[in-house]
Amino acid sequence: MNWFLAKIVYRIVCGEGDHTAQFDEQLRLIQAADENEAFDKAKAIGEQEQEMFLNQQQKLVTWQFVNVCELYKISALIDGAELYSRIQETDNAGLYMELVHKKAAHIKANNTHKYLQLF
């Protein structure tokens, strides 16, 4: 069996959909014999995990599976290996870097909290 990294894309629609288009890109680890099986498994996950629910304003929110748009075979698990890369363009570099630092601090704080719960 081989490991693959699949990008599954969902479209998020709220209410009548009269808002800026929103998509969720998820990276999933898939274990399969070959690329075809990995693609089929990723697609099945995408279809199975579509959902609909009411938000706080009682508007219907739908996560619609779009497709599997990327699939990479992971040849070896190597410490520090790059699994995914995306270039983000922004008009406000300072705001973007601030957001990155806040996310990192949140991860660090949550991990510390998790370790404290183990004792």
In a domain, 52, yes or no: yes
Give the pLDDT of residue 51. 94
83 domain-assigned: no
Block residue for tokens 């790059």 = 82
Residue 84: inside a domain? no
* Bridge partner residues of 31 (DSSP): 3
Is residue 3 within 8 Å of residue 31, measured between CB atoms?
yes
Domain-embedded: residue 119: no
- Tell whether 14 is covered by a domain: yes
| Cα 82 from Cα 61, distance rounded (Å) | 34
**% of the chain surpassing 90 pLDDT:** 52
| Within a domain: 50 | yes
**pLDDT value for 114:** 53
The boundaries of the domain holding residue 16 are 1-75
pLDDT for the residue 83: 72
pLDDT at 119: 47
**Residue 105 domain flag:** no
Closest CA to 84 of 69, 101, 102: 69
Tally of domains in the chain: 1
What pLDDT is stored for residue 113 in this prediction?
52
Beta strands in 1-116 (DSSP E): 2-14, 22-32, 51-54, 60-74
What are the pLDDT digits (tens) for 51-81?
Answer: 999 999 999 999 999 999 999 998 887 888 7
Instruction: Identify the segments of the chain with pLDDT beneath 70.
Output: 87, 111-119
**Do the Cβ atoms of 38 and 68 come closer than 8 Å?**
no
How far apart CA 52 and CA 64 sit, in angstroms, is 9
Instruction: For 79, list phi and psi in degrees, rounded to 5.
Output: -55, 125
Is 112 contained in some domain? Answer: no
